Structure 1
Amino acid sequence: MNIEEKIADYVDKKSQYLKVSKVDIRSIKLEERVRLQCFHCEKYEQKWTCPPRVNRINFEKVFSEYSNAMIIYCKIPYRNKTEYVMVREDSTNLVHKTLLELEKILYKNNQVFAMSFIGGSCKLCKDGCSKKRCRFPNLARIPLEATGVNVMDFVKRELGIEIKFPLDGYMYRFGLLLW
């Protein structure tokens, strides 16, 4: 079984809501207007993996240094506002934790530079981020949006999924796995 098959097999067994798809890393386009949206987030200056706390790394260069990429994603239904709130957090953590587990699989297969990016802000800490420093720097991952990836455009091009707002009955979450 090759590494992509191992990843797909793991994702299939993890949750009925999770899917995985190989994507072309070169098709990722970074946009400053995406990062600009972070200023309007209620969590701005609170999350350690989001602007302005995340370093101004040249993500275009970072992405160009990888040759393999897969999107891990889920589409989970909800019926009302209460379910929406629950699904919002649960879906984020499902994708985030799956990405971390996939990084381990890649590492065990000699892919020491494997890295992942989550969709939306980190929600590992139930009571919010620590004021002094990140409690889980080894587990926290940078959101795709914080790098400048236009996630909606990317998933439409790569997966054919068109996300419209306001959301209507389904919560989507996306993460990117690189190696």
Structure 2
Amino acid sequence: MYYTTTTVNGKPLDEFIAKYQDQAKFLVFCQHCSNYQTLWSCPPLLLDIPQFLQEFNYIYIIGVKVIYDEETIKSAHTAEKIKEITFQSLQEVKTKLAAALLALEQQIPGSVSLSSGGCRLCQRCERCDDRPCRYPEKMRYSLDAFGFDLTAITSDLLQIELKWAKNSLPEYYTLIHALLTNQELDKTILHEMTRGLF
């Protein structure tokens, strides 16, 4: 059905913020998403974003391409089938990647991961009922919830063009997670640790 490839790159966080963060521009897009105000991982975030980020010195972007085989692309001949394949495959990969990054956090003191898209640990987020998150130890904020330009990040740092479903299943999708750290890491080791998941 699909296979995956992983690409990793990193930058000092202050450089990354200066180049890729524009909250005024990109958080407007979040307001048109169904996750807005319904998931604790998504905007509006109930935290001071600059204060949260200033605790870290580096950011490592982990991009996983979910690449479909020709047979799968051909089988997605209706909007329903495209949606079904997209949801199933991306959730499978995202779950594995999120678990791997939580494990990495345990190995790298002071690190915190960021996810691609909204948290799906619960079928219905407690935010919908004005209650605190059930799993704060596992829930991670969405990378785009900080107002980062994901298209530019993926293109510049990973040399990957983002693709989207229109009238057919694309050749691939890209999940973009991140790891915030205080220390500089060997990107080769990080790549090997995440690549072995799939």
TM-score normalized with structure 2 length = 0.70
Of 90, 93, 99, 1:91 maps to 93
**Deviation at 1:20?**
4.7
Q: Is the 8 A contact 1:20 1:70 kept in 2?
A: no
**Deviation at 1:123?**
1.2
Deviating above 3 A after TM superposition, structure 1's stretches of 4 or more consecutive aligned residues are 61-65, 164-167
User: 1:57 & 1:97 partners in 2: Cα distance?
Assistant: 26
AA aligned to 2:125 is: C
Q: Per the alignment, in what secondary structure is the counterpart of residue 23 of structure 1?
A: strand
AA aligned to 2:46 is: N
AA aligned to 2:42 is: C
Aligned pair in 2 of structure 1 residues 169, 22: CA closer, same or farther (>3 Å)? closer
* Matching residue of 1:27: 16
Aligned pair in 2 of structure 1 residues 116, 18: CA closer, same or farther (>3 Å)? farther
AA aligned to 1:55 is: L
User: 1:101 & 1:148 partners in 2: Cα distance?
Assistant: 26
Q: Is the 8 A contact 2:164 2:173 kept in 1?
A: no
Gap regions ≥5 residues in structure 1: 1-15, 108-112
Give yes or no for the alignment of 1:45 onto 2:41: no
Aligned pair in 2 of structure 1 residues 64, 137: CA closer, same or farther (>3 Å)? closer
**Deviation at 1:66?**
2.5
Give yes or no for the alignment of 1:128 onto 2:128: no
User: 2:155 & 2:147 partners in 1: Cα distance?
Assistant: 16
Give yes or no for the alignment of 1:74 onto 2:64: yes
Q: Deviation per CA, 1:43-66, whole angstroms, max 9, x where unpaired?
A: 2221012112x224233x544542
Aligned pair in 2 of structure 1 residues 44, 58: CA closer, same or farther (>3 Å)? closer
User: 1:19 & 1:154 partners in 2: Cα distance?
Assistant: 15
Aligned pair in 2 of structure 1 residues 84, 58: CA closer, same or farther (>3 Å)? closer
**Deviation at 1:164?**
3.3
AA aligned to 1:142 is: Y
Gap regions ≥5 residues in structure 2: 77-81, 182-198
Q: Is the 8 A contact 1:92 1:123 kept in 2?
A: no
Q: Per the alignment, in what secondary structure is the counterpart of residue 177 of structure 1?
A: strand
